[in-house]
């Protein structure tokens, strides 16, 4: 099992939306490095830290689990979708998504400010490469974050 941080803007799709739906396809990834991670590394059973970005208080707000490994993101084929890619085809899809299931809200969200001030987390991509939407989290950092979040299921 591996650990990941998935970024989302809460006004677009929040941890509350995931809780309501219980499961969703993590769609709309249009960065090649993030796509490659979804395609090549993220696996069913992996734990996902849900991170709210582009909001008043950016923070890790809850947990999800990958319940389906990478498959072609159908939004790339839909001309009505904001994620449509005219260069993608059914024979040669360009983008993938995974399905995630809600696992809980953080009783104590871990703010970006707190992450940056925590020596055990200073090496995370969230601190050093903040814009990437799919980020790896090592086991030690994941353990530390889990101990602070107190996830409510």
Number of neighbouring beta carbons within 10 Å of residue 145:
23
The full set of domains in the chain, from first to last, is 3-152 (3.10.590.10)
Q: What is the percent of the chain with per-residue pLDDT over 90, rounded to a whole number?
A: 94
Reply yes or no on whether the pLDDT at 124 is more than 90: yes
Rounded Cα distance between 26 and 7, Å, is 10
Q: Which two tokens stand for residue 82?
A: 């904001």
Mean pLDDT, rounded, for 43-53: 98
CA distances from 57 to 32, 109, 110, 111, 114 (A): 27, 10, 10, 7, 11
pLDDT tops 80 at residue 107: yes
Q: Is the pLDDT of residue 130 over 70?
A: no
pLDDT at 131: 78
User: Nearest 5 degrees, angle CA 50-CA 52-CA 57?
Assistant: 135
Mean pLDDT across the chain, nearest whole number? 95
Sign of the Cα torsion 37, 43, 49, 52 reads positive
Q: What are phi and psi of 120, to 5 degrees?
A: -70, -15
* Residue 152 pLDDT level (bands cut at 50, 70, 90): confident
Position 153 scores a pLDDT of 76
Six token digits for residue 35: 């796509």
Query: 46-62 as b/e, with b when 16 or more CB fall inside 10 Å?
Result: bbbbbbbeeeeebbbbb
In tens, the pLDDT along 53-91 reads: 999 999 999 999 999 999 999 999 999 999 999 999 999
CA atoms within 13 A on the CB side of 117: 5
Specify the DSSP class assigned to residue 129: S
126 pLDDT more than 80:
yes
**What does the pLDDT read at residue 144?**
96
Q: How far apart are CA 134 and CA 4, in angstroms?
A: 7
Compute the CA torsion angle 70, 76, 78, 83 (nearest 10 deg): 110
Could you tell me the pLDDT band of residue 129, with boundaries at 50, 70 and 90?
confident
% of the chain at pLDDT higher than 70: 99
């Amino acid at each position: 099992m591996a650990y990941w941080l998935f970024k989302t803007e809460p006004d677009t799709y929040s941890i509350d939306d995931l809780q309501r739906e219980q499961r969703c396809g993590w769609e709309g990834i249009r960065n090649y490095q993030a796509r490659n991670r979804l395609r090549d590394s993220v696996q069913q059973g992996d734990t996902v830290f849900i991170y709210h970005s582009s909001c008043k208080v950016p923070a890790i707000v809850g947990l999800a689990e990958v319940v389906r490994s990478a498959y072609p993101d159908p939004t790339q084929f839909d001309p009505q979708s904001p994620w449509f890619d005219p260069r993608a085809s059914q024979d040669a899809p360009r983008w993938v998504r995974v399905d995630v299931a809600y696992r809980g809200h953080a009783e104590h969200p871990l703010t970006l400010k707190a992450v940056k001030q925590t020596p055990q987390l200073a090496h995370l991509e969230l601190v050093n490469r903040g814009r990437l939407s799919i980020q790896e989290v090592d086991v030690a950092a994941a353990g530390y974050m889990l101990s602070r979040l107190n996830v409510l299921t």
